[in-house]
Structures are given as C-alpha cells and as structure tokens.
Structure 1
C-alpha cells in the first residue's frame, strides 16, 4: 500500500454509526463519500462538518441493483477512486412470529434481506469490479461490513435482522478468502447496542436500564466506539485481520 490519500465510501452515513465512521476516516486523512438513501440534507450536513476537503454526498437505495451500481459510480466520479468501502447501511424491523401476519412476515423478510444483505453484496461487487480495472490495481483496498451481536445472541422479535447480519458475517469471511490474493482485505464488526437515534426509544424507555446492564461496563456503545475500530480496520496495519468479525459489545455477549 502507498501513503497516498485514501478514498472511502461509507453507506448509511447521514447519522449514527455511519456519520461517526465518516468523521473518523476523514480525521485520518480520507476523502469520504457520505451515502444516504434519501436524507440528502442530513448527509450534506455530515459531509460539510468533516475535517479536510474533497468530501461528497451520494444517494440511492442500495437494495436496488441499478441504484447500488450508480452509488459506486458516483463516489468514484467524485473522489477519483474508492479504496475503502464501509457497508453500514441497514434497517431493523420487528416481526415477532406469533403476532405477525403471513403477508407482513414475507414483506419484512424481503425488505430486510434486500437492504441488509443484498445491498452490501451488490455494492461490494461493483467496488471490486472498479478495483480490478483501475490503473493502480486493487492492492491495499479495504471492505468493512457492519454486522451485529444479534447474529450470535439472537433477535427474537426481529429474526430477519438477526439472520441478515449472520449472513453478512458469512459473506465477509467468504470474500476475505477470495479477495486476499488480490490484496483486498475484508473484515466486519459486530456491535451490540449503540446509542443512536434508532436505539433512543429503547434506551430511554422502561427497558433502558436492563439494556445498559447487559454490559459489565454499565452502558451501551457510543458511535465513536464503533468508528474507532472501523478506522483501524481501514488502516494499512490491519491486513492480517482479513476475515475477522470483531465483537464490539462491551463484553455483553461472549463466544
């Protein structure tokens, strides 16, 4: 790998973990493409607040194969190339099996798998296609997937989410083996609860104290806790982590 400036695409980066990852990578010197599905104003605010220059905003529904390809093309066009891909965009929906209609059950599974699994798989293919044919080649690139503790601990009220994240972990390890010979390192992180907008209703509700008590630290993660690990995995020194799924759950679930 060279010491030239790196170029990162972070999906789902208009808030939460994605926004924190974008900030951490920008602080490390990356030019960052901040992706959102449709919240372009929020994504622009994140991009404008990043240290350094050359950042951009890209948008699109990554569950749609054509839009996923267009997102990667837009990022490459704006940044010149993409060396680091952080597949963070995802959705969480609850569908308890005993109280969800068959139609709603099917719809939830399709949408969650399309966003959480097909989206990263499609965007990763597009990135690898770009890397293999760019003048400097693919060596030194990084792909980092955001999985979940729920893949191991279980998601009884959101089984599609848990299954999608388990599949993301498996995708990570499969691609780590196939892409390592080309110099592309693929890793994942598996966070537990993180203090984001999406988690706020649970954390401020009646179950908040019990959720925090799951960790012996007595708290949930801050997005910056996840972003710091992602930034290390994106660095030159993380090549030997290829295939790793790094647990980031504050010792709330050990395996």
Structure 2
C-alpha cells in the first residue's frame, strides 16, 4: 500500500480541471467564441475591439459569484480531502498491525479545527479561480495587443488566448490539488503518530529523480515530530511526495 494518497490528489485535480473547463465554456458562451477547431474560417479575421471585452468579463465574474456559494465550493473538495485523511489513517494502522502482528485500529487524532481550516482554504482557492482565470486571460490578451498595430484582435486570436489561459490554470489546479492533499497527509500523519504515542518518524522519499536534494539527504533518517529538519515534515512542502514511516522500536513498545 502506497503511503501517500496519490489517488485522492489525482481525483481532486481532475475535479478542479473540470471546473476550469466550465469557466472556459462560460467565457466562450459570453464572448460568442467557439473552440478553435469550430471557428468558421470566414469569421476568423473578424476584429473585436478590446473595449467590447471588459463588460463581458464582468458578466463572467457575476455568473460565478452567484454560482460559487460556500456550500457549492465545499462539495467540490471535501470528499477528496476526507478520502486523503482516511487513507492516511488506514495506512498508519496497517503499518502498526504488520509490526505488532495483531490488528491495530486508532481513532482520527487530527484536530477538527485544523480540518476546518484546510477546508476553508480550499473553498477560498476554488472561489478565487474564476478571477484568476480572467487575470491570466487578460494578461495574454494584453500582450497580444501590445504586439499588434491594430486596436482589436481577431476571433481566432481570442480563441487561442482562451485556450492558453485554460492550460495555465489547469497547471495551477494540479498544483493546488497536490499541495492541499499533501497538506492533509502531513497534518493527519503528525496528529496520528502523536495521538497514538509515536514521538518519532522515519523520513522516506519517493526515491526517484523528482525528489528534492534536501529531501534525498533525509532518506531513511529518524526525526522527532517536535523537531523536524528545517521545520518540515513529509508531505508539507509543495509537490513533496515524501512520507513518514513508523519507527519499529517505538511501535513494539506501544
């Protein structure tokens, strides 16, 4: 059993990517711009004045402000965060069971307020995404305008700008999913170890070329939860896939 909840991360990223596709669809609907492959070549070179776009941007923001209630945003992320939490706890129980040779079960020890804070942060990130998408799109459009002599842009240029903004925001969404699931893993692991009575952990990396050099140096070393290296615990750094393993001697003394 892999200790890091990678499937939760991938599922969350897929959900966020779908949301970004929804933002793109709504923007295209408002601007009346089809996807690049469907643009009528006759209309490709139709010039759109930049001034015409600002009101359309406001319409997009108003649409998502109404749609993205706290409840709606919570439902987009909570299942994946709880799945990561449960996966982490089950993994720790399985490790202790394997060492002690008897079935070991433990209650969740993560502080409910910490979990609420994680959820609150994710809701804020989701609610902010339509605005971030528009800023990315506007930056791309502004750069295009600077490079042109004409005042406006063609439908094809605007369609390409939308597609580019979607790609950038999907990369950001993947980073958010990795960061937030890693954060749940790190906090839950620390709380679970300490709640059970395990004061130490062994640092285990993903053992591939993507591991940070500083984390490679920690491979297999034992640390105290109260004094981790550079204040970092496995999974807490962005895109960190390192995990905390139990220290066998401590488990046997439980």
Q: Normalising to structure 1: TM-score of the pair?
A: 0.31
Structure with the larger RCO, 1 or 2 (CA within 8 Å, 6+ apart): 2
Q: Normalising to structure 2: TM-score of the pair?
A: 0.31
Specify the structure having the higher radius of gyration (Cα): 2
Structure with higher strand content: 1
